Amino acid sequence: MASPKLFMLLLGCTPSGRHTEQHDVFFAIGNSLKDLKEEIIAFWPEANGKIHIDAWREVTEVDGYQIKVVGKEEESTNKKLFFLNLGGYKEGEFDELHYKMLTVSDEKVTAIKRAKETAFYKHTGFEGATSHIDDKYGVDVDDVFEIEDILSTSIKQEYKLQISLASGMPKDEMHLGYIILSKL
Domains and CATH numbers, the chain: 1-60+169-183 (3.10.20.10), 61-165 (no CATH)
What pLDDT sits at residue 139? 47
pLDDT digits (tens, 9 = 90+) for 69-109: 999 999 888 899 999 998 888 889 999 888 899 999 999 88
Contact 16, 47 (CB under 8 A): no
Question: Could you say which residues of the chain have pLDDT below 70?
Answer: 1, 134-143
Tell me the C-alpha distance between 172 and 64, whole Å.
11
Q: What is the pTM of this model?
A: 0.90
What pLDDT sits at residue 135? 62
Tell me the C-alpha distance between 123 and 43, whole Å.
33
